Amino acid sequence: MDYRPLGNTGLTVSVAGLGCGGNSRLGLGRGASFDECVAVVHTAIETGVNFLDTAEAYGTEEIVGAAVRSHDRAKLVISTKAIFRGADETAKSVTAKVEASLKRLGLDHVDIFHFHAVGPESYAHHRDVLAPALLRLKEQGKVRHIGITETGPRDPEQKMLAMAIHEAPWEVIMLAYSLMNQGARRSVFPETQRRGIGTLLMFVVRNIFSNDAYRRDVFAKLVEQGALDASILANGDPLGFLVTEGGAKSITDAAYRYARHEQGADVILFGTGNKAHVRANVESILRPALPAPVIERLHASFGHLTGVGLDLPGPVK
């Protein structure tokens, strides 16, 4: 496993992070038992993954808590999140949700607590009304670092992050980034690197990379909308060159490697409910960068697109 600093937090994190949500939710999405889900977390930790990201909304905090009890807590970085809806949410709401998460996790503190899926319209309320409560909890040692996550499908232009990356108290952000959704390369990463904000990348792999039929439909619609020239469909799969010229084992493999080696990317989040998939995903994230000509082609061909591939995951396998 490769490890790196998470911005200026002082935390050292694995470049591959286990995302405990999505359709898989560690296996809950396919009806796996609690113990089977715990085993997925164990497998990730055994491969060297030390970053575990869960959330109230995922329903997996108890699973993560059970899994980490048999490992050295000091070597793990636990991240969780909660959604706050509406202007009636107060500092008391924040304290209650943090305390509830700690209880479900069975921990006395979390390394990062995020405001979850914050849109641009509610950002000011989170910053001005809710964040001071997190700062107090940080002073109490219950939260070590403060984060905020975007809502990619509802904010494809990343308007919320455009504000947050310039302001306190955010130490870590979670954002959507992929080889078909490259906006952060220009608008987010330069500032997070300058200010030492840690980055957690989600939506790195979605249906557009793993489902051939779905990918054909998306590209056909992009051509129809004028977002891409029709010539991109001339030689079959528009992303096929990632395998034939980039040396990737699959388009999914290329997607993980593209994000992993982007300057400014700290943790690449992957989600699964399958122990074998844990190892395969980690292996992809740890492989070398794609060749420079392939990266240049990706930037030239798709760098102008906004919000492509921000769909929910496909059926759990």
Position 21 in a domain: yes
In this structure, which amino acid lies at residue 173?
Answer: I
Please state, rounded to an integer, the average pLDDT across all residues of the chain: 96
Position 295 in a domain: yes
In this structure, which amino acid lies at residue 226?
Answer: G
* pLDDT computed for residue 315 by the predictor: 44
The count of residues in the chain is 317
Domain limits for position 212: 3-302
Percent of the chain with pLDDT strictly greater than 70: 98
Q: How do strand 3-5 and strand 172-176 relate by DSSP bridges? A: unpaired
Q: How do strand 3-5 and strand 12-14 relate by DSSP bridges? A: antiparallel
Q: What is the DSSP letter of 176?
A: E
* pLDDT computed for residue 53 by the predictor: 98
pLDDT digits (tens, 9 = 90+) for 196-207: 999 999 999 999
* pLDDT computed for residue 316 by the predictor: 35
Position 226 in a domain: yes
Position 315 in a domain: no
- Quick one: which H or E segment has residue 14? strand 12-14
Position 104 in a domain: yes
Position 311 in a domain: no
Q: Where are the alpha helices (DSSP H) in the chain?
A: 34-46, 61-68, 91-105, 123-125, 131-139, 159-164, 184-187, 189-195, 207-210, 212-224, 241-244, 251-260, 275-286, 292-302
The pair of structure tokens assigned to 202 is 């989600």
Number of structural domains the chain divides into: 1
What average pLDDT does range 281-289 have in this prediction? 98
Position 309 in a domain: no
pLDDT digits (tens, 9 = 90+) for 3-28: 999 999 999 999 999 999 988 999 99
Position 253 in a domain: yes
Give me the CATH number covering residue 259: 3.20.20.100
pLDDT digits (tens, 9 = 90+) for 179-188: 999 999 999 9
pLDDT digits (tens, 9 = 90+) for 71-107: 999 999 999 999 999 889 999 999 999 999 999 999 9
Q: How far is CA 35 from the centre of its chain?
A: 24
Three-state DSSP at 286 gives helix
* pLDDT computed for residue 317 by the predictor: 33
* pLDDT computed for residue 312 by the predictor: 63
Backbone angles phi, psi at 247, to 5 degrees: 75, 15
